[in-house]
Structure 1
Amino acid sequence: MGNDAATEVLEPQECWELLRSVSVGRLAVWLGDRPDIFPVNYAVDHGSVVFRTGTGTKLEAALGDYPVAMEADGVDPDTGVAWSVVLRGKAVPLKNIDDVVQSFSLPLFPWEAGHKDQFVRIPADSVSGRRFTVTAPLTWWTPYSGTKPSRGE
């Protein structure tokens, strides 16, 4: 039995439950002519995720012309079972006063100090996830792992 057989594809409802279980994810954006990624503290809210940030590169890229992706994951150190969930959608700023006021009740606690007065919502166009058992290092380690290539390589 290969590793693919041990990977469980998660139903959307379970993906949302797992997204609610952590508060930090990675926001993938398109910035100019290249992809970039930023850590974000987020909260799940009505089929979307919401994060707060200050003005700057992350906000500009998130609200740009292209959709974004956000990934969150976790692992149970006792069982070795890990999960990963990816949400995709077009990020939008929260501008309506009712939306902004309501967002203040969300548990959004940025790790970094600073003026974080911009609230961004990513309505999910899609959400997908998987669960798997972390493979022991000896399964994928080879005698060549950790060796340095010779000068000609």
Structure 2
Amino acid sequence: MSDQNPVHVLHPEESWGFLRTHEFGRLAFHLVGEVHLTPINYALDGERIVFMTAEGSKLFGVTANPDVAFEVDEIVGERATSVICRGRARTLEGQAAYVVERLPVRPWIDTPKSVVVAIEVDEISGRRFDLTRPWLRDLPAG
């Protein structure tokens, strides 16, 4: 491989570090034989992802089939970063749910979300891409 490879594999610690600096991602889950994708705000508790939700399709989906994927992406200038996690979601109840009291995970919109869900991550992978996007250089000025 050339030293000019535009794709850089992130070490797992780099991937976790990237997730720690963000608070918004996408959760993929199964629901009645279909895969659904929804945005969530989250926080990390060690090496697990914690979010809050309400009764509804997301909660039903992760309860019925806990296998999930989670992704966070970012584009800054000429670099893009993407981190994907795969794992198992479970609701936290009782004392375990109080983890949200010490984490910066709060609903972004004023809707009640009282169920705490944690994703126990089995696999994490990250990539950083050096972008060229030649079409941007071809845009007319002004």
- 1:66 deviation in Å? 4.3
SS where residue 5 of structure 2 aligns? helix
Partner in structure 2 of residue 74 of structure 1: 74
- Greater gyration radius: 1
**Aligned equivalent of 1:91, options 83, 89, 92:** 89
Count, aligned residues:
136
In the alignment, the residues of structure 1 paired with residue 94 and residue 86 of structure 2 have an alpha-carbon distance, to the nearest angstrom, of 23
Contact 2:66 2:90 in 1 (8 A): no
Secondary structure (helix, strand or coil) at the match of 2:16 reads helix
Q: Would the aligned equivalents of 2:29 and 2:68 in 1 still touch at CA under 8 Å?
A: yes
RMSD: 2.0
**Which AA in structure 2 matches 1:136?**
R
Question: Percent identity at matched positions?
Answer: 37
Counterpart AA for 1:105:
R
Q: Give 1:33 shift.
A: 1.6
2:98 to 80, 98, 101: 101
- Structure 1 residues 53 and 66: alpha-carbon distance in aligned structure 2, compared to 1, 3 A threshold: closer
Runs of 4+ in 1 over 4 A off after TM superposition: none
The change in CA–CA distance for 1:137 and 1:111 in structure 2 (over 3 A counts) is farther
3-state DSSP class of the match of 2:15? helix
Shift of 1:52: 0.3
**Whole-angstrom distance in 1 between the partners of 2:132 and 2:34:** 32
5+ residue gaps in structure 2?
none
Please give the TM-score of this superposition, normalised by the length of structure 2.
0.88
